[in-house]
Structure formats: structure tokens, C-alpha cells
Structure 1
Amino acid sequence: MSMSSLSSVGRRAAGAVRMPAAAWVQGGWMRREEAIMGTSISVELWSEDPSAGNAAMDLVIGEMHRIDRGMSPHKPDSELSRINREASVRPVPLSEEMFALLARSLEFSRRSEGAFDITFAGAGRLYDYRERIRPTDAALAQACAAVGHQYLELDAAARSVRFARDGLRIDLGGFAKGHAVDNAAAILARRGIRHAFISAGGDSRVIGDRRGRPWTIGVRDPRRPGEIIALLPLEDAAVSTSGDYERYFDTPDGARCHHILDPRTGKSPDSVRSVTIIAPDGLTSEALSKCLFVMGVERGLRFVESHAGVDAVVVDAAGALHYSSGLLAAGAQPRQ
């Protein structure tokens, strides 16, 4: 992972956050975008040969669809849905890919002492952000009794999973998107693509640079749509952003119910507005973005800095910026 100088800004156009929506070809740059996995999936790359570039983008989009078919909690025939239906009754045989993802998720759960936990879904399913519905304390307490990575039992010999608690459910969420951008980056590398940007909602991978200058990723202002508060010039890195502005509703008492939940309480953490993680791979960046969001600024930054090659930008509940020590050494300045 490589980073050039980092800039902190007050008001900038949002164009640095997301590339234009239309497909185009200009001097070897090619781009495609589709709605997959419940979000906008885009790939931009440089190719001297337009046919080779299009073929590479076809493979990336095809891979995103494949992962969505297997890991969507909303598709009844997905492998994930089958696990949720059957694993409380019997061990469920898994594909190699799914077993590896569940095993990796458990590693992050154990290391973070439960701040990251894909079994949060047992509580998460009680929220409806469009209808502004949140569960009662009694319903949430009952759901949280079936939340906990310790109830997710993997059998390596049989390559299976079993739920040790009735009512347990899993949702890979952004973890699947981090996996998807990692796979897409590997596909492009095998096709000889050396300059590319892949995005799946809040999860991105950059390959190489933008032919002589770094890719620039913007950290959006959590409370001012269309504005950004920091610019991250990157090469060969994964980036994940988790924010309380993605799926949420504000309650009459001023609290914000958003989709990032503390697995231990089933409620939305309120000490952070957004977290952006820069890491060598998408699974790490995605998992650590959730860990830091749940842990809070001080504990979360210490946890992030215990991982080699990982950095973070955090916007706390007051709107103040915080950077990991690696970014501060690169020249980042917290906003006053």
C-alpha cells in the first residue's frame, strides 16, 4: 500500500468521492457501473486495447453478480440464506469460499472482542430504516441473546457451520463487498491491468496509480451532503468507509438510529459519525471500519494501529477529524 501526501480540506466538490456515472472511453480510460449487491458497483481502468479492457470489466461485473447470488441475505436461494434457514437445526456444508469468509470473520470478532460480529443480524433485522421503525428494549434484549460469534461453530474437517443458539442469524454485509473488491482486483491483475479503481458502495480498491499521479479518494462530510473534509491520495490500497448517514433515521429525542450496530447492545453507537480505513485488502479495511466505529475514537485507533499497514480517518460525534499516526506522519492535520 502506498500513499502520497494527504490533504485536509473544509469544503470541496464531491467529485473526488465518486466517479461520473456514465460509461466512457477516453485515451485508454474505460469505465462501467451497475447496481449490484444493493449498491452502486463501478470499475474504471486503463487499457491500451479497448476489447481487452471491456473483457476485463465484464469479468469484474460477472464476479460481483456471482458473489451477490451466493451471499445476499435477500435471495432465498443464496448460500447465506440456506445457512440462516438450516444451521440452527443441523450442520450446513459450506463452499470453500464461504467457509474461508466465515473463518476470517471469526478472527476479527475474537481480536476485537466482539466489536465486529456478523451475527449482529439477529438484532439488525428488527430495524426498518425506511419506515423509521426500531425495536422495543424488550424485543432487542431477546434478539441480542442470540447474537455472539461464540455461537457460530465452524467444523474445518467437515467444512460446515452450525448455530449453537436458536434465533442466530448472520449477514456478511460490507464484508461481502470487501471480498468482492478483493476478488475483482485479483481478476484485473491476472488480466494484466495495472491501473484501476473498483468500488462497491463504501468499499474500494485502487490498483497502481492513475498513470503518473495517485488516485484521490474523498472522505465526505457526514453532515453536509456533497462536501468532503479530507482527500486521500492512494496507490495499491483498499479503502472502506462506514458512516451513520448511509441508512438511518433520527428519533424525536434526537438520537440517530443507523445501520451500524454494536453487536453487544443491538443499538447504534453515537460517539462517531464516520470511519475510513486504508488497508492492504478489502476484508481488513471493511472489518476494521466497523470495529473502530463500535469501539470509539481512542480505543478504536489503538486497535487499528495494532495492525501493520493500516490507517484511519475518523469523524467523531462533534465533527472533529482524527487520524492514525501513519497519516499524521504523512502530513495530515486534524481540523480545528
Structure 2
Amino acid sequence: MLLTAPASAQWYYDDAAIMGTNIEVQVWASSEAQGQQAINAVFEEMERINQLMSPYIESSELSQLNAHAADGAFVVSEELFSLIRYAIRIGDMTHGAFDITFASVGFQYDYRARVRPDDTMIASQLSAISYQHLELNADTHAIRYRHPDVKIDLGGIAKGHAVDKSVEKLKSLGIQHAMVTAGGDTRLLGDRLGRPWLVGIRDPRQEGKQAVKIPLVSSAISTSGDYERYFEEDGVRYHHILSPSTGKPASLVQSVSIIGPSSTTNDALSTSVFVMGLAAGLELIDSLPEVEAIILDNERRMHFSSGLTDN
């Protein structure tokens, strides 16, 4: 779909449902053929990673890992191994707030069907949540689960990874100005022809409205919120961002946005800070180079990391 009147170079846009979310792509291209080639390359890359890392596709490498790694070391691709290893690094950095084994309890939640595990079910599975149960062999790319009930879900990092890989594809095709969005993860290539991109952060309690717009150039932003997949029961909001320590939805803030150069890192950190809460989350972000945070607390107040307030 064309965004502007015909010219020698134009903006091209399209979207698609992949990885359980809406993928949006905008590119500035010299021709319709180049624009369509670039957009198709993004969609193909997103689907490739979906087939590799989706816990819902039985044939995916991640599903096969979950099915077999408790029985013995299971060899995976370098790409999946590297992302899991990086997720463990984020887990260490956040003192366990980010933990890809949250799925050991998380698989019992069904937000569309409004199903959640009771306290007894959570307690019976909680010991399986710990990335310390993962044994990685860097030489063979083999992974073994030391606990029989461990399940991995890369929902807190895979979309960011897919966005980064898609932007790499666009660069290889000669694209210099683009935006790639996968759900809450957006990365920007260049500017919008002399102007910054304006990226909105959704209001967590008013669908269709934005809490703030951020001008960005050649950067990325990821947002995690309690409004993405949830249902309410007896006044309690049950959403998909679980605290690894409790197996229950984290409830200290409403949304977290992380700004930095890497969508992969932003994606993981936005989940981490959501679990950690306002004070600990801002302390973490202020200790890291190149990343900033915008947090909306439970009173709908907006808080900024020091790098955003110092300027």
C-alpha cells in the first residue's frame, strides 16, 4: 500500500499477523519493486523466526527443545542457542526478574479462555521456574533441562530479536529509512527524511490513546504492559507478564518502555523492569549504558530514567 503520491522515491507500508502479533513495516524506497522486496524480506524473516522459536508450533526448534531437553542434552541451532544464552545473561543482570523458564507455570494460563492456575497448581510447578536449571554446552550448542518440568518461552525477547534481524535484512537491501514494529517492539532505521520518527507509548488504561509520543532517530523502543494479554476476575487483572518468584502476574506498574539501540535488549529489559517495579527498575536502567526507561506506575504517573530527565 502506497503512503504518498507517486514520485521517484516513496514510502511503502504493509502489515501482517505473524508471531501472534501485528507486524508493521514502513520503508523509503527508490521504486515499488524495491519497497515490496524490502517489506517481503521483513515478513519472511519474521515468519522464519516464528517457525524457529514459537512455543505454540509443535515442529519449532523451541518446542522440540521443550519436549526433549529434560530427557537429555538436545542440540539446537546457533541462533536459538545464542538467544537463550543472552536471555540467561539478562536473568543474571536482573537477579532473576527476567527468566525464560517462567513458562513452567505460564503455560497453565489461557487469557482468551479466562483460565488461570490456582495457588495449589502454581505451588506444584514453581520450583521449575529457574534458568539455573538450564545446562548449556557452548561447544555443541546442546541444552539440557536439569528439572523435569522446565519449559522455556522466549516471548520476552524473541520479538525484539526478530525486529533486529529484520532491520539487518533491510540494511542489506540498501534501505536507509525504515520502521519495523512487532507488537510492542519498534526499531527505526535512520530518520523520517529530515525529521525524527514519532513513536507513541500506549495509555495502559485507554485503548487507542497514547500516553506520550517520543521523537527518535536510528533507535529502538520496546514497551511491556499489563494490557497486552489479560482478563479481569473479581477486580484482579491477570496478564501475561509473570513474576518468576511467584508464578503470578507482576503488579507493581502498568507499563514500561525501554529506549536503546537494540530491540532484543529493549524487549528483555522492558519485561524485567515491569517485574522489578519502579525503584529497582530505574536503578537498573540508570546503571546501564545506552538505555533509558519510561515507566507508568499504578497511579498512572509517568517516571523517567536519569538520562531522560538530565537533558
Aligned: 1:85 with 2:67: yes
Residue 204 of structure 2 corresponds to residue 222 of structure 1: yes
Shift of 1:299: 0.6
Aligned-pair distance for 1:207?
Answer: 0.6
TM-score by length of 1: 0.90
1:21-76 deviation digits (Å, cap 9, x = unpaired): xx224250001111001111111010122211211111111111101111111111
What amino acid does structure 2 have at the position aligned with 1:201?
G
For the 8 Å contact 1:174–1:203, the answer to whether it is kept is: no
Q: Which runs of 5+ in 2 are unaligned?
A: none
SS in 1 for 2:227: coil
In the other structure, the counterpart of 1:324 is 305
Deviation of 1:284 (Å): 0.7
Residue type at the aligned position of 2:258: I
Identity of aligned residues (%): 45
Alignment of 1:24 onto 2:5:
no
Counterpart of 2:223 (choices 241, 245, 248) is 241
Cα shift at 1:223: 0.7
Identify the match of residue 135 of structure 1 among 117, 137, 149. Answer: 117
Question: What secondary structure sits across from 2:174 in the alignment?
Answer: coil
2:48 to 43, 66, 75: 66
1:312 aligns with 2:293: yes
Query: What is the DSSP-based 3-state SS (H/G/I as helix, E as strand, rest coil) of the residue aligned with 2:27?
Result: strand
CA shift digits 1:228-262 (9 cap, x unpaired): 1211100111111101011111221x221110000
CA RMSD of aligned residues (A): 1.0
User: 2:147 aligned with 1:165, yes or no?
Assistant: yes
Quote the Cα distance in structure 2 between the aligned partners of 1:247 and 1:234.
Answer: 27
Alignment of 1:167-206 (within 5 A): 167-206=149-188
Distance in 2 between the 1:279 and 1:141 partners? 37
Q: What one-letter code is carried by the residue in structure 1 that aligns with 2:212?
A: A
Q: How many residues align?
A: 307
* 2:110 partner SS: coil
State the Cα distance separating 1:317 from its structure 2 match. Answer: 0.7
TM-score by length of 2: 0.97
SS for the counterpart of 1:145 is helix
In the alignment, what sits opposite 2:243? 262
Matched residues in 1 for 2:198 and 2:288: separation? 23
Are 1:208 and 2:186 matched, yes or no?
Answer: no
Structure 2 residue corresponding to 1:298, chosen from 244, 266, 279: 279
Structure 1 runs not aligned, ≥5 long: 1-22, 331-336
Please report how far the alpha carbon of residue 138 of structure 1 lies from its aligned counterpart in structure 2 after TM superposition.
1.2
Structure 1 residue 110: Cα displacement: 0.8
